[in-house]
Amino acid sequence: MSSSRIGGGAKHRLMSEMQELSREKWVNIDLVNDNILRWRLGLMVVNPDSAFNGGYFKAEMTFTDEYPYQPPTFRFQIPIYHPNIYPDGKLCISILHTPGEDLTSGEAASERWSPLQGVESVLRSVLLLLDSPEINSPANVDAGVMYRDDRASYNKRAKEIVEKSKNDIPAGFILPTTLEPPPPPKSTDDDAAFWAESDEELDFGGSDTGDDDEVAEFDEDGEEEGVSDDDDN
């Protein structure tokens, strides 16, 4: 399949996913420079049992023309003290790792990215990780030790981060306090059928993204600071 067809398929898939996610109350999505391959997110924690309940966390996701065959990248834009979050905001999470089994890490192929995954599954995995850290392989060792040995101090620090995050809530935006139960997971048969369509049906022509392949980082005011490096995870 030509690169233009891959690019067109990626953009079509992402537009469909963004439309679906726009109905959800726990995530707020904007595009960077109207580029469907670069998403700026407000990810909300609405779980009274979570240390991060009430948080509005700015994040960014970037995609390549090879999506969904290659995973997106995800990065929080504010520091979050959490066992599985690096100081630069990137996550140590299996679903964002490239497809296939990794004997070194011990991750099974089913735990890693696959084309049947999507943005929603990534975001729900991130929210689950915030609620239930994996401390056996921490990205932040100190946070992992505090979570294990001094939960009260960990929860206090999390609440401080939550209060700071509320400064990023857009003007006029109402943060939800409760959410309806999520719908049942979509059958993977539906996704498989979609990607079994003919090349002609997926040939959207693809547009030249120019320098959009470079992923910009942004400060809290939304100004470009440079370009981010590749996700190391």
Whether residue 95 contacts residue 125, with contact meaning beta carbons closer than 8 Å, is answered with yes
Write b or e for each residue in 155-164: b if 16 or more Cβ atoms lie within 10 A of its Cβ, otherwise e: eebbeebbee
The whole-angstrom separation of Cα 214 and Cα 201 is 28
Task: Judge residue 130's burial from the number of C-beta atoms within 10 Å of its C-beta, 0-12 exposed, 13-18 middle, 19 or more buried.
Answer: buried
Quote the CA–CA distance of 186 and 103 in Å, as a whole number: 30
Which residues on neighbouring strands pair with residue 32, listed in sequence order?
A: 35
Structure tokens at 100: 């296939």
Q: In angstroms, rounded to a whole number, what is the distance separating the alpha carbons of residues 143 and 82?
A: 5
Query: Is 10 noted as a catalytic residue in this protein?
Result: no
Residues in the chain: 233
Name the active-site residue from 41, 61, 91, 92: 92
Q: Which class for 39: exposed (0-12), middle (13-18), buried (19 or more C-beta within 10 A)? A: buried
φ and ψ at residue 88, rounded to 5 degrees: -85, 5
Which residues does the annotation mark as catalytic?
92
